[in-house]
């Protein structure tokens, strides 16, 4: 007897199907396709992400073992590793890249009021990149070093909710700073970056678009002081200055004034020099903004540990990008579900619970309900305490 939807279907209910089919039509994803549709491909790959499958054979074995439930999952085509491999090889990866952007557009308003540690009305982004190592003999298109392959995941992360707003997948040779050319600066927003993005010509373009940046200065930074503001040395601030660049090329690339803040972090015993084009915020707030940049590092660590983006199911460029974009889509889809269902658990806990309840027929909220069935502790228990 049918007692309801399985958990997997209840997760996929948060997927905007109309927009998904628009993405498929945009890139002709169903051209000459007879049985295994793009939706079948997406659902199979999403299942692999949610249940931590390691290979196509792994996906095939697990789904075929639950063959009677595939219809309830929304999968209409026959599951085989050769069919899934062919789909990953030939279906345009941009279908799932566009889908991820649609999900991001849905998720961002849900997290608009999230607290990230600093009371600030403006949007704050952290920009960084992570390298995913590949075997050069199996991925010859991803040459990084002479005997090493890699792809880079360039990410612009909205610090409210840790939602990736912009993602660009490149080969390992693309320098991080070149990604600034692909961004559309948002006026009034803050862009927090590390030294790898220090290019004064590109920073000046951000300044002209009325966007703010916070970035560490390099050790050979040459400047002339124009003005010094009073500082609170007890908070670790050493100086707060308005300066102009004096180097030949930097002064031409960035002809405007820039703010220089020197800060000593007692916790890490490190000395920082920050550059920003924002002259309104307190100097200590600027230093705290840069400290929040570590959220993008934690994001990279999280997705590498909990999403399947290090072991790939295919070796072609299209297969690799398809898997990464579907992984991002699943991450954002779970984040959307978390907000819509008002779940208190972390994304890690939610995905762990989904991985073991994916085929259960039960209301999804029941899977995340607090366990109130534990027996109350007997205060007169005679069991000895191991550690007092």
Q: Are residues 338 and 273 in the same domain?
A: no
State the pLDDT at residue 231: 92
**Is there a domain that residue 78 lies in?**
yes
Bridge partners (DSSP) of residue 227 are 242
Number of domains in the chain: 2
CA dihedral of 326, 329, 333, 339, whole degrees rounded to 10: 150
SS3 192: strand
Q: Please enumerate, as own/partner, the contacts of 140-144 that have beta carbons within 8 Å and a separation of 24 or more.
A: 141/171, 141/316, 141/317, 142/171, 142/172, 142/317, 142/320, 143/171, 143/172, 143/173, 144/171, 144/172, 144/173
pLDDT tens for the 388 residues of the chain, in order: 345 899 999 999 999 999 999 999 999 999 888 889 999 999 999 999 999 999 999 999 999 999 999 999 999 988 999 999 999 999 999 999 999 999 999 999 999 888 888 888 899 999 999 999 998 889 999 888 888 899 999 999 999 988 999 999 998 888 999 999 999 999 999 999 999 999 999 999 999 999 999 999 998 889 999 999 999 999 999 999 999 999 899 999 999 999 999 999 988 899 999 999 999 999 999 999 999 999 999 999 999 998 988 889 999 999 999 999 999 999 999 999 999 999 999 999 999 999 999 999 999 999 998 654 333 444 444 544 433 3
**Is there a domain that residue 164 lies in?**
no
* CA distance linking residue 207 with residue 203, whole number of Å: 6
Q: Are residues 223 and 283 in the same domain?
A: yes
Which phi and psi angles does 276 have, rounded to 5°? -150, 155
Q: Are residues 283 and 198 in the same domain?
A: yes
**Is there a domain that residue 358 lies in?**
yes
Which phi and psi angles does 170 have, rounded to 5°? -130, 175
**Is there a domain that residue 372 lies in?**
no
**Is there a domain that residue 152 lies in?**
no
* CA distance linking residue 244 with residue 200, whole number of Å: 12
Quickly tell me which residue has 């862009």 as its tokens. 191
* CA distance linking residue 93 with residue 356, whole number of Å: 29
* CA distance linking residue 144 with residue 134, whole number of Å: 9
**Is there a domain that residue 159 lies in?**
no
Range of the domain at 249: 194-292
* CA distance linking residue 226 with residue 260, whole number of Å: 11
Kindly provide the b/e burial profile for residues 63-100, where b requires at least 16 CB atoms within 10 angstroms of the residue's own CB.
Answer: beebeebbebbbbebebeeebbbebbeebbbbbbbbbb
State the pLDDT at residue 101: 96
- The CA angle 164-167-172, to the nearest 5 degrees, is 130
Q: Are residues 282 and 319 in the same domain?
A: no
Q: Are residues 266 and 326 in the same domain?
A: no
Q: Are residues 358 and 278 in the same domain?
A: no
Q: Are residues 273 and 352 in the same domain?
A: no
Q: Are residues 254 and 319 in the same domain?
A: no
**Token pair of 143, please?**
């040459």
Domain end (from 228, 261, 292): 292
For the chain, percent helix, then strand, then coil, each to nearest 5?
Answer: 45, 20, 40
The Cβ of residue 244 has, within 10 Å, a number of other Cβ atoms equal to: 15
State the pLDDT at residue 372: 46
**Is there a domain that residue 26 lies in?**
yes
- The CA angle 57-60-62, to the nearest 5 degrees, is 105
Contact 281, 287 (CB under 8 A): no
What one-character-per-residue DSSP string does 90-107 give? HS-THHHHHHHHHHHHHH
**Token pair of 324, please?**
């990464």
Give, in order, the Cα–Cα distances in Å from 101 to each of 53, 166, 189, 244: 24, 8, 19, 39
Strand extents, DSSP E, 111-174: 124-134, 143-145, 148-158, 163-171
Q: Are residues 55 and 15 in the same domain?
A: yes
* CA distance linking residue 295 with residue 116, whole number of Å: 9
**Is there a domain that residue 172 lies in?**
no
DSSP element (H, E) containing 359: none
């Amino acid at each position: 007897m049918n007692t309801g939807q399985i958990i997997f279907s209840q997760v996929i209910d948060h997927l905007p199907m109309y927009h998904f089919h628009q993405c498929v039509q945009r890139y002709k994803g169903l051209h000459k396709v007879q049985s295994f549709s793009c939706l079948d491909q997406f659902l199979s790959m999403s299942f692999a992400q949610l249940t931590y499958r390691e290979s196509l054979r792994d996906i095939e074995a697990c789904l075929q073992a639950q063959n009677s439930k595939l219809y309830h999952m929304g999968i209409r085509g026959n599951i085989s590793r050769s069919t899934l491999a062919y789909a990953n090889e030939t279906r345009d990866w941009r279908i799932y890249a566009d889908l991820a952007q649609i999900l991001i557009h849905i998720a961002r308003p849900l997290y608009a009021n999230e607290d990230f540690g600093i009371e600030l009305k403006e949007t704050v982004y952290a920009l960084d990149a992570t390298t995913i190592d590949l075997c050069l003999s199996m991925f010859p298109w991803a040459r990084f070093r002479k005997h090493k392959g890699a792809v880079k995941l360039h990410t612009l992360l909205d610090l409210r909710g840790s939602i990736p707003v912009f993602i660009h997948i490149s080969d390992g040779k693309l320098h991080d700073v070149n990604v600034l050319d692909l961004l559309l600066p948002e006026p009034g927003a803050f862009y927090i970056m590390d030294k790898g993005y220090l290019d004064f010509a590109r920073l000046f373009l951000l300044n002209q678009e009325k966007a703010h940046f916070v970035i560490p200065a390099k050790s050979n930074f040459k400047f002339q002081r124009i003005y010094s503001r009073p500082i609170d040395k007890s908070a670790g601030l050493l100086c707060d200055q308005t300066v102009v660049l004096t180097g030949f090329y930097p002064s031409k690339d960035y002809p405007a004034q820039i703010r220089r803040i020197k800060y000593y972090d007692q916790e890490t015993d490190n000395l920082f020099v920050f550059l920003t084009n924002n002259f309104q915020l307190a100097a200590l707030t600027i230093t705290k903004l840069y400290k929040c940049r570590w959220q993008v590092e934690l994001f990279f660590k999280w997705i590498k540990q909990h999403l399947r983006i290090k072991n790939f199911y295919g070796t072609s460029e299209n297969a690799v990008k398809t898997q990464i974009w579907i992984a991002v889509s699943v991450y954002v889809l779970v984040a959307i579900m978390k907000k819509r269902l008002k779940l208190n658990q972390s994304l890690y806990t939610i995905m762990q619970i989904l991985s073991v309840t994916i085929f259960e027929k039960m209301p999804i909220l029941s899977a995340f309900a607090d366990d109130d069935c534990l027996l109350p502790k007997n205060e007169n228990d005679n069991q000895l305490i191991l550690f007092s």
